[in-house]
Structure 1
Amino acid sequence: MDLHITNIINDLKNDDFDAYLLTQFTNVEYISNYKPTSFAFCIIKENPIIYASGMDMELARNNSSIEVKEYESYDVMINELKDDGIKSLAIEPTLPYSTYVRFRDDFTIDSKTYIDKQRMIKTPAEIEKITRATEIAQKSFLQLDILNNKSTEKEVAFDLVRHMIENGASKESFDTIVTSGAESSLPHTIPQDKKLTQPILIDWGAIYEGYCSDNTRTMVYTEKQQEIWDIVAESHDKAIKAIKPRMKCCEVDKVARDIIADYGYGDRFIHSTGHSLGLDIHETPGFSMRDETIIEEGMVITVEPGIYLEGEFGVRLEDTVYISRKANVIGDLPLNID
């Protein structure tokens, strides 16, 4: 049996649950290598099973490492679980309420993060896929010739996604952010149909064999922009250098945040320092003020401090690191793009 399933079954036994219900597509994929296109119910128990939709049965049978059965109805599925002796059911925290209400009258239910705990630690194969996704994304970025580009933000975003797909990505790992000028002070703005102005902030990523990458670079042009860029770069570099196993994630966030605060811009750093990624672009843990998760070898987390001056401009610099005895930056794209 798969090690991840074995670990989850041990967690179930320790907490006195009979089974674990997963419906989130990437969780099902993580456990079984089958990613639903419609819906699926993955039940982790001593004899795991996936109830897949009829339209997905061929895909599921071809890819799933665990037993697959065609979904007929909630009643049939619930009765089969009860016949199997299932009385208590752990659920993933993201389970939709509309699904939860179908099960609550027949089982003792509680939300558990067993799957998140497994996904926090990446295998060497997972790290290799994230590395390949990063290489594709960074190569594609360098093909843009941004400094001589007279295109609009939308056109640059389109070209970047096209390059990533041409270079081997299945798609972008999130909606590509290309922003410039005053709008760069909005961390998650969308590309506009306007010519690039200054500075230019690009946040992008590729998916390779299901795994995401994530980088941000900001190109600055004025003395004030360079001053802010230098502060963010110092925060980025020192946070990465500080990371080591057995630290708390919040301690890394504090390193990055304190540097920016020391320069007087603490209130302009308006998001967490980073987030894990893998099959999803945002996973746990994260480098945030509240996350007390202990850093372990095998984690993969972004480091992305930023300073946002409302109405003027913003600067964010982001790389992804994997943790061994220290933090190792994935990819080789320079922070400073000349």
Structure 2
Amino acid sequence: MKGVKMEINEFHINNILKDMEKKEYQGYLLAQFTNIHYISNYRPTSFAFCVIKEDPIIYASKMDMEIANKTSTIEVKEFTSFSDMLGELKKEGISNLAIEPSLVYSTYEKFKDSFNIKSETFIDAQRQIKTADEIDKIQKATQIAQKAFVDLDILNNTNPENIVALELDNLMRKYGANGSSFDTIVTSGSNSSLPHATPQDKQLEKPILIDWGAKYHGYCSDNTRTIVYTEKQNEICDIVAEAHDKAIKAIKPGLKCCEIDKVARDIISEYGYGDNYIHSTGHSVGLDIHEIPTFSTKDKTVIEKGMVITVEPGIYLEDNFGVRLEDTIAIEKNKGRIIGDLPLIIE
């Protein structure tokens, strides 16, 4: 298995090296845990720096050396000091150094006087297209999350919101998840109009909105379901479901991400709720719950086979209620395929 992972990591590294060569970079500095994991199969627990170059290397903390040596597909060296690390890189002839956009400023300051530095999205671009193995893991994460939701039996659950969220998290763990993709959202009543509401110590009201996901071998899943009860709630849910279904049906390689956002947004606007659709239509999913590209008004990225992006339209009526419906979509040769088999409408 490690041989397969090594081949995949080498494939990603070689693609990034080609991008670096075009701009005459001799090194590319990574510190974000998921980026290091993506490149090497080693996920830091403390801190680490990965430098992609002809002979890539990871500088890991002493407390991480054992796990790094066991899991990394590229060379690992113990981090001793920034001066030692900088000295080694300069000795190798590195002068132009690319950095990931998320690199914290305090770390940037350590490098800025020793190299010509510029922020580059080489690894973000590489992570946009998932391998078959990555998609399999996202599918497994989704399977776990959806089974947990079904067994939660939300229609008959009498616990307060925060306990329901805990139960869902525990069920996902029970069924094989490494953890939750993000803080599970269980909200109800008027708080459902808050897209990222926090579960409260109060009994479930109507409607009930649940946004949850599992992590499996580091890869995330993401779903949202809203259980509605009143005539008005059903009316809004039907509109959101139409936007959800038609946006997914419109997905195909060659279109721009913003065009899919427009499909969902136009439908909701036609019903008079355009101002109540207050977020983008979707985001890519992988090792992080939010990756690029996004189904948003400004994202002109061309959709490609291998991308995995959520579709999650919503309508939020302030101080009243909100409805969001979300599935994760694998982009295939001619269409988008819903990952998972959970019914959209829970009755």
TM-score by length of 1: 0.99
Measure how far apart 1:16 and its partner are: 1.1
Is 1:48 equivalent to 2:56 in the alignment?
Answer: yes
Q: How many matched pairs?
A: 338
Among candidates 109, 133, 139, match of residue 117 of structure 2:
109
Can you give the 5+ residue segments of structure 1 that lack an aligned partner in the other structure? none
Measure how far apart 1:148 and its partner are: 1.4
Measure how far apart 1:97 and its partner are: 0.3
SS class of match (2:345): coil
Is 1:326 equivalent to 2:344 in the alignment?
Answer: no
Among candidates 324, 328, 344, match of residue 335 of structure 1:
344
Is 1:311 equivalent to 2:319 in the alignment?
Answer: yes
Among candidates 74, 85, 101, match of residue 82 of structure 2:
74
Instruction: Identify the residue that residue 4 of structure 2 maps to in structure 1.
Output: none
Separation in 2, partners of 1:251, 1:19: 36
SS class of match (2:114): coil
Separation in 1, partners of 2:96, 2:339: 42
Separation in 1, partners of 2:162, 2:46: 30
Matches of residues 271-286 of structure 1 in structure 2 within 5 Å?
A: 271-286=279-294
Among candidates 2, 5, 13, match of residue 5 of structure 1:
13
Matches of residues 130-209 of structure 1 in structure 2 within 5 Å?
A: 130-209=138-217
Structure 1 counterpart of 2:259, which letter? Answer: E
Among candidates 257, 261, 276, match of residue 268 of structure 1:
276
Give RMSD over aligned pairs.
Answer: 0.6
Measure how far apart 1:147 and its partner are: 1.1
Among candidates 58, 62, 69, match of residue 61 of structure 1:
69
Instruction: Identify the residue that residue 3 of structure 2 maps to in structure 1.
Output: none
Structure 1 counterpart of 2:209, which letter? Answer: L
Report percent identity of matched pairs.
67
SS class of match (1:143): helix
Measure how far apart 1:70 and its partner are: 0.3
Matches of residues 20-39 of structure 1 in structure 2 within 5 Å?
A: 20-39=28-47
Can you give the 5+ residue segments of structure 2 that lack an aligned partner in the other structure? 1-6
Instruction: Identify the residue that residue 223 of structure 2 maps to in structure 1.
Output: 215
Separation in 2, partners of 1:35, 1:149: 37
Matches of residues 80-91 of structure 1 in structure 2 within 5 Å?
A: 80-91=88-99
Measure how far apart 1:144 and its partner are: 1.2
Measure how far apart 1:149 and its partner are: 1.4
Instruction: Identify the residue that residue 294 of structure 1 maps to in structure 2.
Output: 302
Q: Deviations over 1:253-298 (max 9, x none)?
A: 0001000000000000000000001000000001001111110000
Instruction: Identify the residue that residue 251 of structure 1 maps to in structure 2.
Output: 259
